[in-house]
Amino acid sequence: PNFFHLRMMKATRFTLSFHLQFTEEKLGQAEKTELDAHLENLLCRAECTKQNTERIMKQTEVLLQPNPNVRIEEFLYEKLEKKVPTRMNNHEVLGQSMIESGSEFGPGTAYGNALIKCGETEKQIGGAEREFIQSSAINFLTPFRNFLEGDFKTILKERKLLQVKRLDLDAAKTRLKKARVPDARAVAEQDLRMTQSEFDRQAEITRLLLEGVSSTHAHHLRCLTDFVEAQTTYYAQSYQYMVDLQKQLGSFPSTFSSNNNQSSSSSGGASISIPTIPLSASMLSPSPGRGLSGFSELRISSGSRKARVLYDYDAAGSSELSLLADEVIMVSSVPGMDSDWLLGERGTQKGKVPITYLELLN
């Protein structure tokens, strides 16, 4: 009982000195052991990583689900560990409405048939959007959330423990300064050595955890690459779906497909130009026969022509030729080559080039 009583008295004395040290530091009446500059920089970087990860996550969630009410609902389902109910996205809802309307007008009518085709395409885009959202949630948002809820919480815990060890160390220094009796100084010096050792050990543990943030940055960079790839695939699929739909609508009789052109010409003659978006062969599956009549003539004649490069292009392999915007190269058709490609020549350099990046010169 006496031993236990002495231990309790010692623990109480240390607790009081701990709180006294904290209070005196806040009032500017006690010295504070400063962390080394490297550790301070690591702490600042970790906090910066946490804040920016939260910001990127929030805005990505807004991009993937613009409706705030749906985001809250999905968050609650996640916390309750329940499956989120499946709902159609905006493209799918529009597509379904078009298909139903087209069926009412009659698939045999031009307008009804066009509505059905548009609806099917909108539903295809909706499916591509759903895949993009799922891929982004798994490969982008989940690693970011794991860092915030896992690694960073561990860092916070160890940083808080480091703060406690630092206060213990400073309290021990204060007790040593106030000790006058030799026995009291001996005890205070022993306490100081012990608290200094514990502080150094905790500082090393915290430093190792903080240096791991570099690995987190590297991992998040790979996640960012996956996110961009998912976006690229989604936009490329949507573009291809719309190009195919445009071709289908273009096959309708001119009396049905030229209403907008007639109204625009009667209201002032202003024309609307649709920009051409260059796509690499790896993004879209080539569609035979696409391209301007000049390219078709070039393939038939098997000759060569000068062409101006519209956009920069990085070759995907040794069989392709990298291009710089506005440069002029010679192009020719090779039997058996895909219709979306030509053979490009720049001096002694030769390689395949995509026709969507070229403009034939007279």
Whole-Å CA distances, 95 to 3, 66, 70, 309 = 81, 19, 21, 38
When mean pLDDT is compared across 90-99, 168-177, 285-294, 295-304, the lowest value belongs to: 285-294
Is residue 91 within a helix (H) or strand (E), and if so which, with residue range? Answer: helix 90-105
- Distance, in Å, from the CA atom of 150 to the CA atom of 85, rounded to the nearest integer, reads 28
- Distance, in Å, from the CA atom of 341 to the CA atom of 354, rounded to the nearest integer, reads 5
How many residues are there in the chain? 362
Give the residue-averaged pLDDT of 339-348. 89
Q: Is pLDDT at 320 greater than 50 in this prediction?
A: yes
Higher-pLDDT residue of 19, 355: 355
**What is the pLDDT at residue 259?**
46
Give the mean pLDDT of the chain: 82
**What is the pLDDT at residue 32?**
80
pLDDT digits (tens, 9 = 90+) for 75-98: 777 777 777 777 889 999 999 999
Neighbours of 50 (CB within 10 A): 18
Q: Identify the structural domains of the chain with CATH numbers, from first to last.
A: 34-251 (1.20.1270.60), 293-360 (2.30.30.40)
- Residue 234 backbone zone (phi > 0: left; psi -120 to 50: alpha; other: beta): alpha
**What is the pLDDT at residue 5?**
52
Higher-pLDDT residue of 272, 346: 346
Q: What percent of the chain has pLDDT over 70?
A: 79
Token duo for residue 4: 């236990």
Q: Is pLDDT at 327 greater than 70 in this prediction?
A: yes
**What is the pLDDT at residue 273?**
43
Helix and strand numbers (H, E) in the chain are 12, 5
Amino acid, res. 97: S
Give the residue-averaged pLDDT of 204-215. 95
What band does 20 get if pLDDT is binned at 50, 70 and 90?
Answer: low
- Closest C-alpha among 165, 217, 166, 193 to residue 56: 217
**What is the pLDDT at residue 226?**
95
Token duo for residue 35: 């962390």
Higher-pLDDT residue of 324, 337: 324
Token duo for residue 124: 């295809």
